[in-house]
Amino acid sequence: MSLNIDEIKTILLEHNLLKNQHITKSTSFDYVSYNSRDIKSNTLFFCKGNYKPEFVTNAKNAGATGVVTEKHLTQSEGMTEFIVSDIQKAMSILSAAFFAFPQDEMNTIAITGTKGKTTTAYFIYDGIKQATNQKTALFSTVNTVLGPNEIFKSHLTTPESLDLFKNMRKAVDNGMKNLVMEVSSQAYLKNRVYGLKFDVGSFLNISPDHVGENEHPTFANYLHCKEQLLVNSNKVILNAETADFEDVYYAAKATTNPEDIYLFARNGGDVSLPVDLDFVFESHEDTLNDSKISLIALSEKAKSLGVEGDYTIGIPGDYNESNATDAIISAGLVGFKRDQLFEGIKNTRIPGRMEMYRSHNHGVVYVDYAHNYASTKALLNFLKRQSHHGKVSVVVGSPGNKGIDRREGFGKALSEEANVAYLTMDDPAFEDPMKIASEIDAHINHDNVKVIFEMDREKAIKDAILNSSPEDISVILGKGQDPYQKINGVDTPYPTDSKVVRDLLETL
């Protein structure tokens, strides 16, 4: 693959991004990178983020012959230089072109929402991969799947644009015909998906989250960024029970043909606008092992998809029924029918999500990735309704330098649903984990909840389980199967919550 100077100029001008250029003898580029340690001969180097002048020098010495930057750099003397108004936008559209627009060679299904993105993505992925003979790729918070034999842990929910298009190209080259991916609000805030149009885009829900010094400045900005998925999808699916539905619905209507908007809700659910729903779902049974629902098509366009009927949902929790419904409709919009989806939906499993472990003398242990008020409240409430006896102990922390409002949310959810809270470390970044724990504690009702501070996460998990009786529930929240803690800018190895639980139970 390569990209020549004329192509670069044309693309940047089409998007009104090119401010200036300095052309040397280089006429085309055979590699693209934003990492000065990942340079090959004849590389086009993107100076993004908080780069340092020596990064450009290092890239140049390693073989980079071109640079894209927002200002002229003396270090790029002798290199072809493109000066742009927005480096993130430029990197996205040029990366798409360099990798030959791989999105055009797959069905692309995208999901956004404060909670439920990963679960919905796995429902779609597991629902259709068998019907496609494994020819389905997945970009999720948990794993990136580029093919049956190319699976690795994800670093970001939605990766940097260059990595995104590179992985898309690998997926296409591996024979993948479908791509299911989570799209975070940060992806739009940081222009990681600038210029990318999806075949299907889903909006699951919205609640206060991801507002902080390194994330969204306000909730309004958070909502606006999430709505950009609707603007950039050919067909859209909306959970009509979401908060701020009026805002979300009109954002979709502003850019999408009404025939390409699909609305769903729980039968009898609270829908704030007088709209005609396309689908409703009804819950028949939900246990600690699975749920059973009926999906009912109301509109003619919904009936034409051929996805209505009864389903067994492999991931328990009544709050997952709407996620499964969205997944089924998404799959239907790219051509899959109920008979093709049933087994995959029934057998969906997610690493680190609703993992259940039974002990002989210390109750049942659940490992889940819940990381805000809405998801924590929903999970704990469901588990309490399923297990009427015993106390609920929760091990939880909150990330540092982002999502500050989560701390209040955790405190509120614990006050409403827990008996014991072990406050601990969870990706503290550059903050003091004890300070974060204290901020969660400030929002806990101590008349309802006993609070224990233990910053050693492994010890907190072990203490919660060992101090539980056979009738109790221990819930380990936040990290699931993440194999590291983000501490002072370093990904510090961590055995994962799942392994800590398994190892302890094996010794018992």
Average pLDDT on 110-135 reads: 94
Q: Measured between alpha carbons, how far is 96 from 449 in angstroms, rounded to an integer?
A: 51
Average pLDDT on 242-261 reads: 96
Quote the crossing angle between the two packed helices 219-231 and 245-255, to the nearest 10°: 40
What residue has token string 């805000």? 372
Q: What is the percentage of the chain residues whose pLDDT exceeds 90?
A: 80
Cα dihedral value 454, 456, 459, 461, nearest 10:
80
Would you say residue 130 has pLDDT above 90?
A: no
CB atoms within 10 A of CB 257: 10
Mean pLDDT, the chain, integer:
93
Q: Measured between alpha carbons, how far is 308 from 329 in angstroms, rounded to an integer?
A: 9
Specify whether the CB–CB gap between 302 and 278 falls below 8 A: yes
| pLDDT confidence band for 292 (50 / 70 / 90) | very high
Average pLDDT on 257-267 reads: 97
Buried b (16+ CB within 10 A) or exposed e, 102-128: bbebbbbbbbbbbbbbbbbbbbbbbbb
Would you say residue 212 has pLDDT above 80?
A: no
| pLDDT confidence band for 326 (50 / 70 / 90) | very high
Average pLDDT on 358-370 reads: 91
- Predicted confidence at residue 432, as pLDDT, reads 97
Tell me which long-range contacts 62-70 makes (C-beta under 8 A, separation of at least 24): 62/36, 63/39, 64/33, 64/39, 65/24, 65/26, 65/29, 66/26, 66/29, 68/44, 68/94
**C-alpha torsion sign, points 167, 107, 4, 173:** positive
| pLDDT confidence band for 503 (50 / 70 / 90) | very high
Q: Measured between alpha carbons, how far is 365 from 242 in angstroms, rounded to an integer?
A: 30
| C-alpha to C-alpha distances, 372 to 155, 397, 506, nearest whole angstrom | 19, 10, 30
Name which of 263, 117, 288, 92 is nearest 191 in CA terms. 92
Q: What is the pLDDT of residues 148-169, one digit of tens each?
A: 999 998 888 899 999 999 999 9
Structure tokens at 158: 């939605």
Residues whose CB is less than 8 angstroms from the CB of residue 275 and which lie 6 or more positions away in sequence, other chains included: 240, 249, 263
Q: What is the pLDDT of residues 305-320, one digit of tens each?
A: 999 999 999 888 888 9
Q: What is the pLDDT of residues 215-230, one digit of tens each?
A: 788 889 999 999 999 9
- Predicted confidence at residue 235, as pLDDT, reads 98
Would you say residue 29 has pLDDT above 80?
A: yes
Poorest-confidence range of 98-112, 144-158, 418-432? 144-158
Would you say residue 237 has pLDDT above 90?
A: yes
Q: What is the pLDDT of residues 485-498, one digit of tens each?
A: 999 989 999 999 99
- Predicted confidence at residue 185, as pLDDT, reads 93
- Predicted confidence at residue 27, as pLDDT, reads 79
- Predicted confidence at residue 274, as pLDDT, reads 95
Q: Any bridge partners for residue 144, and if so which?
A: 139, 152
| pLDDT confidence band for 385 (50 / 70 / 90) | confident
SS3 category, 233: strand
Q: What is the DSSP letter of 202?
A: E
Specify whether the CB–CB gap between 402 and 217 falls below 8 A: no
| pLDDT confidence band for 272 (50 / 70 / 90) | very high
CB atoms within 10 A of CB 506: 7
- Predicted confidence at residue 480, as pLDDT, reads 87
| pLDDT confidence band for 290 (50 / 70 / 90) | confident
Q: Measured between alpha carbons, how far is 251 from 60 in angstroms, rounded to an integer?
A: 44
Residues whose CB is less than 8 angstroms from the CB of residue 102 and which lie 6 or more positions away in sequence, other chains included: 165, 168, 169, 171, 172
Strands (E), 363-419: 364-368, 392-396
Poorest-confidence range of 102-111, 153-162, 450-459? 153-162
| pLDDT confidence band for 445 (50 / 70 / 90) | very high
